[in-house]
A and B are shown apart, each in its own frame.
Chain A
């Protein structure tokens, strides 16, 4: 079932053509074509080791593709550095939760806010000059239900809350395209529901590409599904189409629903 915010004209913001990556002779990703649209949630699914995270690494340029081209908002980013890609509006989260462990929840979010606010290079100003980011940071923290932990160090949070914090930090950049690598892994039912709701909400005004193993969530909130197996796309379409595909059923047999 598609989300409510899918009425607008589809507009491709991120696309890959013939994307591929080899590791010392082993082809981890091959011939991947992908179109991610504004205001849509696109799921990338597939069994373990299919190459989903590698595709994320290629799209965000953390890995250099061996083959293919990537376009972000009409600009070719095939040879762009990863930090530049982030500044262009494509921001990712990591499969293994990536927070700044010894910073507090609020500081984690503020680090993301510093650069867009032009408050990242001043080595002569006191830390209190960052106080004007507090309101925006606290908004995000509140929105993601982290308010009670605002002053806790990230390292002390539960696994699920670290993931939520990572999403908050990512949202702080207000990116045009959001790449989430298993954002709900390790979360309880409650949190999964909350995060699904948040993702649906933020996707009203931006594109989301997510890797997700929880197929209920995929069925629930994703507009498009692309299925990857051994580095290649074996099916694409909406959830109903994809889940009826015999190749997908074979690929998932024994492991998932």
Chain B
């Protein structure tokens, strides 16, 4: 499926001379909005949104920037949630250490799963990641520390760095926001780095990259581990937000959901997965209070969007004249 998007439109629209400044202004505007918004909307809803936005962005690092479709990202998200919850609740670790453990655990899982799957192409890669994630799901179902169907309940949020009380909702919100922004910065740097350049060249022409001496599998594995670690960051923080970790987060449906978010928003753009996550989470939240069947509606919305906007919402916007005038460009 969506390995490679359409070629960039042939008629080139020169970016507006002020495009850089306009982009900067938009980013500043978004930041200000993120700072104010918890006073307007439910902070818990917003935190959930930020966690999933980070999760989808981490996933996009792999699909959009490396061209690998993983069907097992729930293992990293949900696995980290368990690790963080366990460390904080049972061992009494401070929240930052708990999240760090979640990230490390997810990275390790990613290394193992990636090492097994990375040499497979296309659908085989997706199938193997799915199979491995299912194995991890059954491990979580059986393992003692995850408490089976109950999950790990009433996880204390604790004090960040021993001082900031995260049981205060606003403190927690700003902590989640900070983590989200740091995660995005890491992704942005990763994509726009010497390593990211090689990743891009591999995506563009793998044979050529090999013939230039690059051990393609290692670069892909590097991206896979980074994506897993960031998915773990999102999962660990989510466990603190909701104060529990359950099987829902490691189930295959979660892997499907993150694919949906990313495709909806647009792969290969920094903002696409964020928009996609926002849309899906909002829709779920809205439908949860209604009588509509959630999965069917999200499924239908997804189908419509994929048929109408092949590049995803943000990708389509970037491809419009306005988008290109503003100097936006999706990864090919």
Please determine whether chains A and B interact with each other in the same assembly: yes
Q: A198 at interface (Cβ–Cβ under 8 A)?
A: no
Q: Are A124 and B193 in contact (CB under 8 A)?
A: yes
Residues of B within 8 A of A87 (CB): 213
B196 within 8 Å of A by Cβ? yes
State the total of A-B contacts with C-beta under 8 angstroms. 104
Interface size on A, residues (CB 8 A): 38
In the bound complex, CA of A123 to CA of B230 (Å):
14
The majority secondary structure among interface residues of chain B is helix
Q: Which positions in B face A, CB cutoff 8 Å?
A: 7-8, 189-190, 192-198, 200-201, 204-205, 207-216, 222, 226, 332
For the complex with contacts A98-B211, A114-B194, 7 further pairs of A-B residues with Cβ separation under 8 Å are A82-B210, A87-B213, A94-B207, A100-B201, A121-B194, A123-B196, A126-B189
Q: Report the separation of the CA atoms of residues A111 and B216 in the bound assembly, to the nearest whole angstrom.
A: 13
A173/B197 in contact, CB under 8 A: no
Tell which of B7, B8, B195 has the most Cβ of chain A within 10 Å.
B195
Closest to A169 in B: B212
A112 contacts B by Cβ under 8 Å: yes
- Binding site of A, secondary structure by majority: helix, strand, loop or mixed? loop
Say yes or no: is A83 at the interface (Cβ < 8 Å to chain B).
yes
Decide if B196 touches A112 in the complex (CB within 8 Å): no
**Mask of A80-110 contacts with B, CB within 8 angstroms, 1/0:** 0111101100011110001111110001001
Q: Are A127 and B207 also in contact (CB < 8 A) when A86-B212, A111-B201, A112-B212 are?
A: no
Q: Are A122 and B211 in contact (CB under 8 A)?
A: no
Smallest CB–CB gap between A16 and chain B, Å? Answer: 18
Q: A121-B195, A122-B193, A123-B195 are in contact. Are A103 and B212 (CB under 8 A)?
A: no
B211 touches A127 (CB 8 A): no
Cα distance, A129 to B200, chains bound together (Å): 17
B193 to A111, Cβ gap below 8 A? no
Most B CB atoms within 10 A — which of A100, A121, A173?
A100
The yes or no answer to A135 lying at the interface (CB within 8 A) is no
Known A94-B207, A103-B204, A107-B197; judge A123-B222 contact (CB<8 A).
yes
A102 to chain B, nearest CB (A): 4
Q: Within 8 Å CB of B216, what residues of A?
A: 83
Judge if A125 is at the interface, Cβ distance under 8 Å.
yes
By the criterion CB–CB under 8 Å, are A127 and B210 in contact? no
| CB-based nearest B residue for A116 | B213
- Report, nearest first, the 6 A-B pairs whose CB atoms are least far apart: A86-B213, A123-B195, A98-B208, A100-B204, A102-B332, A87-B213
Q: Are B205 and A130 neighbours in the complex by a CB distance under 8 Å?
A: no
Chain B residues, CB < 8 A from A229: none
Bound form: Cα–Cα A112–B210 in Å? 11
Q: Which residues of chain B have C-beta atoms less than 8 A from A123's C-beta?
A: 189-190, 193-196, 222, 226
Most central of A62, A82, A130 by chain B CB within 10 Å = A82
Proximity string of chain A (121-146) to chain B, C-beta cutoff 8 Å, 1 when within and 0 when not: 11111110110000000000000000
Interface pairs (18), CB distance under 8 Å: A82-B210, A86-B211, A86-B212, A91-B211, A91-B212, A93-B211, A94-B207, A98-B205, A100-B200, A100-B205, A102-B200, A103-B201, A110-B197, A115-B213, A115-B214, A123-B195, A127-B193, A173-B213
